[in-house]
Amino acid sequence: MMSKKSENGYQAETTACCNAENHHHHPHHHHSSSHCDRYAARKPSIQFDRASLLTTTDGDGGGICKSTSPSSTSTTTTPNTTTTVSTSASTHVVPTIIVDDVSRRTQQSTIPFDSESDEDQQEASPRISVKRTDSGFEDFCVRNLSIAKYGRKEIDIAEQEMPGLMTLLERVGAEKPLKNAKIVGCTHITAQTGVLIRTLIQLGASVRWCACNIYSTQDEVAAALVNENIPIFAWEGETEEEFWWCIDKCVSAGHWRPNLIVDDGGDMTSYVAKTYPTVFAQLKGIVEESLHGVHRLYSMSKTEQLAAPAMNINDSVLKTRFDSIYSCRESIIDCLKRTTDSMLGGKQAVICGYGDIGKGVSNALKGLGVNVVVTEIDPICALQACMEGFRVVRLEDVAQHVDIVITCTSNQHVVTRNLMNQMKSGCILCNMGRSNTGRQVCPSCSCVPSLVISITATTQILALIELFTSQRGRYKKDVYLMPKKMDEYVASLHLPFFGANLTELTDAQAEYLGVNKTGPFKQNYYRY
Each residue of 483-521: pLDDT tens digit? 889 999 999 999 999 999 999 999 999 999 999 998 899
* Confidence grade of residue 31 (pLDDT, cut at 50, 70, 90): very low
Closest CA to 168 of 403, 459, 400, 405: 459
Per-residue pLDDT, 339: 85
Per-residue pLDDT, 303: 94
**Average pLDDT value over all residues in the chain:** 80
Stated as kind and residue range, the H or E segment containing 83 is strand 82-86
CA torsion sign, 37 to 40 to 43 to 46? negative
* Confidence grade of residue 396 (pLDDT, cut at 50, 70, 90): very high
* SS3 per-residue string spanning 328-381: HHHHHHHHHHHHHCCCCCCCEEEEECCCHHHHHHHHHHHHCCCEEEEECCCHHH
* Confidence grade of residue 441 (pLDDT, cut at 50, 70, 90): low
DSSP letter at 69 equals P
For the chain, domain boundaries: 131-315+450-482, 325-444
User: Is residue 107 predicted with pLDDT exceeding 80?
Assistant: no
User: Is residue 96 predicted with pLDDT exceeding 90?
Assistant: no
Closest CA to 230 of 145, 125, 137, 157: 137
d(CA 353, CA 414): 10
Percent of the chain with pLDDT over 70: 74
Amino acid identity of 497?
A: F
* Parallel, antiparallel or unpaired: strands 391-392 and 371-375: parallel
Mean pLDDT of the region 412-436:
86
Q: Is 506 left (phi over 0), alpha (psi -120 to 50) or beta?
A: beta
d(CA 464, CA 74): 54
Q: Does residue 414 contact residue 374 with C-beta atoms inside 8 Å?
A: no
| Homologous superfamily (CATH) for 131-315+450-482 | Adenosylhomocysteinase-like (3.40.50.1480)
Residues in CB range of 372: below 8 A, 6 or more apart:
349, 350, 351, 362, 365, 366, 390
- Same fold: 131-315+450-482 with 325-444: yes
User: Is residue 403 predicted with pLDDT exceeding 90?
Assistant: yes
Residues in CB range of 288: below 8 A, 6 or more apart:
263, 264, 266, 269, 294, 297, 310, 311, 312, 313, 314
Percent of the chain with pLDDT over 90: 59
Q: Does residue 31 contact residue 434 with C-beta atoms inside 8 Å?
A: yes
DSSP letter at 316 equals S
**pLDDT tens, position by position, 446-463:** 567 899 899 999 999 999
325-444 folds as: Rossmann fold (3.40.50)
**pTM to 2 decimals?**
0.71
Per-residue pLDDT, 141: 96
* Confidence grade of residue 66 (pLDDT, cut at 50, 70, 90): very low
* Parallel, antiparallel or unpaired: strands 310-312 and 479-481: parallel
CA distances from 477 to 264, 276, 304, 308 (A): 19, 17, 8, 5
